[in-house]
Structure 1
Amino acid sequence: MSGSEGRGSTLPGAWSLEPGALQQQGLGHAAMDHHQNSGLQLEGFGLEKAAMGKERKEGQRRGKLMNLPYDILLEILSRLPARFLLQCRCVCKSWLTLVRDPRLAKMHLARASQHRNPSLIFNFRDNGTADLNLILNFHVNGNRVLYLFDLNEEGCEAVTIELPFLSSGSPNPFSILGSCNGLVCVARGFSLPSDPDIYIFNPITRECTMLPEPCIAHTSRADYAFGYHPATDEYKVVRTLFTGTNPLTGSYQTKVEVYTLGSKSWRRLEDTEFLLWASPSSLVNGAIHWLSGYHLGSGIYLIVYFDVGDEEFRVLDPPSELNPSREKGCASLVVLEGCLSLAYAPDDGGSLVVWVMKEYGVKESWTKQFVIQRGAVFPPMNYLQLLCLLKNGEILLEHTIKRLFCYNPNTKMVRHLAIHDLPNWIMHPTHTYVQSLVSLWTNNGAEE
């Protein structure tokens, strides 16, 4: 090989990779630019080819997944968190169809209710103890934001969800009336002399609808309860207005009307002789339950329930041991693991007793499940509200100052449940909530 054919030389018709060689051959800057552009084009082609290959592989994986039987796909997706499933809607049209399938919403709801802890939802209201600067720095739009905290992810921050029906700087705060299967019933403007605006809202899917005007005029205090019946697959809102007492019988007089999700108007029902605004309602077995009184001043607790299916009011007997006519105290209803339960604390605040109705509708099935004694950590028991039973066996309770406690009935230990970066005064009040894909538009014939 001659010297001219040593290292750095070029073969006939080939480009040298050294810019100096190009200039020596008289090709100049134009050839250099062409050489560099060609290299960039080759590099770009390589990146494009790699991206196409990656996209092809992802498409093949999606194709393999979509080749599974449809029922198997629903079973797989039902095990994923609701917020993740919403992201799956953007993958392709097939996934969008899957996620929108009402069967997936029901399967996901059943699995979440059985195997996962509920979430907590609450809204902002200052109780007068918070510093104004702290309020403003925390959230300037607190009166139109819903907070959601997943009890399966302790230590995480609460998620803020803006309500689509409240405009920025809305002067009327909202109240949470109740939740059911992932749908939340919300009232805006409860402090006004007229009826509030009532909405049903899914915080996960952001679907929302406003209820029509009630048919009974607002002449006294109006209260609302939200429920669902699995046999009819209907969601209903019950509106009650206490109008006074019957001078002949001494019983209460309460007007009642009901709204069914998907309908266009409220329906008037027969008046009832029960007082239904004395305590929050609890939904179990397709019925809305209140702890109420029958006759004025009787001091006897009655559990009144409204069957969402046949729209009739009936009565359940409380535990035989509970006799408030002999001892005063504070009682409330709650649902524990699908069973109607009653929590009672005497006026001395020394203990909290929890009864569970093991067999619905059978008085003899009331069982004293828990007795929580006041300790050094706990405040007086008559200031505690029992929220739910966690999957690890702990009991979640809320104090009136909006602090959350977890009580272990086996070890008798108490721990404070703190929500990261959220001051205690933010909660007003706390509701349990199941994250779901239940749609407002696929129930009761409602149209989008």
Structure 2
Amino acid sequence: MSSDCTTPFFDMLTQDLISEILVRLPVKQLLRCKSVSKPWLSLISNPNFIKSHLNHTSHGHGANQILFLDRRGTSMYLLHLDSCEIDFSLGDFSFSRPLFRTAGCCNGIVCFYHARTVSRLKTNPYIHLWNPATRQAKLIPPYNIHFDDSFSLSIGFGFDSIGNDYKVVALLATFNKPCTAEVYSANTNVWRRVEPNPEDLPANGRIDVSVNGYLCCQGTNGCMMAFDLNKEVFKCRIKLPEGSFLIRIKDFDDCIAVTHSKENDLTNLFNLWKLDDEACLRDSRVEASWTLMLSIDVGRPVEFVFGYFKSGDLLLYIQEEDTLLLYNSDNKEPRNVPVSLEYIRTFKYNESLVSITGFKQVNWQAWEDDS
């Protein structure tokens, strides 16, 4: 066979092999690989490659084994659950501006805002979208809601897979007016009013989780509330499992789940329930039903569950000992997580090459000071 016939096939095979190798590399190495050649730069920058890489980090070996930790609104860092090691130093991703809060983490993109402005809600908080792996970030425009007597602000963040859009939702409530909500689209870079107004507010002042295009949390009336990121509407008064206390809405194998313990439960028992069908989030006539997936007694009182991971591990907070416990639901083996606890919010995190329109490479400390 002539070389003219074999060369194109060989080149194609080589490109496929290169792509299969590169898609398995961490972001830090891929960023270096961009400088190898123009073809490699083009490949790594290709949206299809970025999507394949994200899929590999989300579902491949070690998926969801990294947590994004927010400690008292002063610093964030990544922790590998399998090794309990810090991925990078605090100094690389620390913030001198005090009291920021994390609204959510999705596809390697983190949304956070500065909480010191929340106490003065006449002034919109600085809301940022940030990819810590690529060190790209964006300060999004302020929302349009302004109330002189505001007292409650909740911000959520998630991905609309149908519209291929990252969205931020802000709920603002007052003492004498209905709750008002706006949604920000990264594709259009504008905020829009959500109609009709939501009938409820997040019970703990924050939106717990983003799952399959829905932002979910427990409402003040004791039911679950959800925001459809594609249709941009709220669904409230979603029935939760009965007899629950210390509710947390979580992601369980890419499904909406509820973890709870029972008040004065002498057996230290906590349960995890999975939502059977998301039809109740789309149709008010469909009642929510839940299936008990886990019922576990670790021998110690569990304050709440931070998260469930594909390895079968649950990250638990033991209040009496003020410690984090990693408990494997399959082999029933617990192990302590050596993290100094103050106040912690945790998010499942998968590094990615995802970039949002308007993202800029930043020297974080300088960019932070300039903001």
Give the alignment's Cα RMSD to 1 decimal: 3.0
Indicate the SS of the match to 2:190. Answer: coil
Q: 1:239 to 1:359 in 2, by over 3 A?
A: same
* 1:149 paired residue among 75, 79, 91: 79
CA spacing shift, 1:432–1:398, aligned 2, 3 Å: farther
Amino acid at match of 2:253: E
Structure 1 contact 402–427 (Cα < 8 Å) conserved: no
Write out aligned runs for 1:374-385 (5 A).
374-375=298-299, 378=300, 380-381=301-302, 383-385=303-305
Quick check: 1:288–1:306 contact (8 Å CA) kept in 2? yes
Choose from 233, 244, 249 the match for 1:312: 233
Q: Is the 8 A contact 1:123 1:428 kept in 2?
A: yes
What is the total number of aligned residue pairs between the two structures? 335
More strand by share: 2
8 Å CA contact 1:146, 1:160 repeated in 2: no
TM-score, normalising length: structure 2: 0.80
Shift of 1:236: 0.5
Matched, 1:120 2:77: no
More helix as a share of residues = 1
Secondary structure (helix, strand or coil) at the match of 2:188 reads: coil
Give the letter aligned to residue 175 of structure 1: R
Distance 2:90 2:49 in 1: 24
Q: Which amino acid aligns with 1:330?
A: L
Q: Is the 8 A contact 2:114 2:127 kept in 1?
A: yes
Q: Is the Cα–Cα contact under 8 Å of residues 72 and 344 in structure 2 kept in the other structure?
A: yes
Partner of 1:353: 271
> Aligned ranges for residues 20-419 of structure 1 at < 5 Å?
68=13, 70=15, 72-115=17-60, 116-118=62-64, 119-125=66-72, 143=74, 145-152=75-82, 154-160=83-89, 170-190=96-116, 192-193=119-120, 194-218=123-147, 219-244=150-175, 253-270=178-195, 271-278=197-204, 280-294=207-221, 301-315=222-236, 317-319=238-240, 321-323=241-243, 329-349=245-265, 350-361=268-279, 366-375=290-299, 378=300, 380-381=301-302, 383-391=303-311, 393-399=312-318, 403-418=323-338
Q: CA deviation at 1:222?
A: 1.3
Unaligned runs of 5+ in 2: 1-8, 281-286, 361-371
Counterpart of 1:129 in structure 2 is: none
Cα 1:108–1:399 change in 2 (3 A) is farther
Q: Kindly indicate whether the alpha-carbon contact (under 8 Å) linking 1:275 and 1:292 is maintained by their aligned counterparts in 2.
A: yes
Counterparts in 2 of 1:157 and 1:429: CA distance versus 1, 3 Å: same
- For 2:80 and 2:298, the matched residues in 1 are separated by 28
Aligned residues with identical type, % of pairs: 26
Task: Give the Å deviation of 1:104.
Answer: 1.3
C-alpha separation in 2, matches of 1:224 and 1:339: 21
Letter in 2 for 1:77: L
Q: Does 1:429 align with 2:351?
A: no
- When normalised by structure 1's length, the TM-score is 0.67
* Secondary structure, counterpart of 1:68 in structure 2: helix
Cα deviation digits, residues 371-423 of structure 1 (max 9, x gap): 12251xx3x22x222312242x22222346863212133443321122xxxx5
Paired position in structure 1 for 2:283: none
> What is the CA–CA distance in structure 2 between the aligned matches of 1:352 and 1:240, rounded to whole Å?
31
Q: 2:352 is matched by which residue type in structure 1?
A: S
Q: Does the 8 Å contact 2:158/2:166 carry over to 1?
A: yes
Report the Cα distance in structure 1 between the residues aligned to 2:310 and 2:337, rounded to whole angstroms. 12
AA in 2 matched with 1:146: M
Amino acid at match of 1:369: M
State the distance in 1 between where 2:310 and 2:189 align.
39
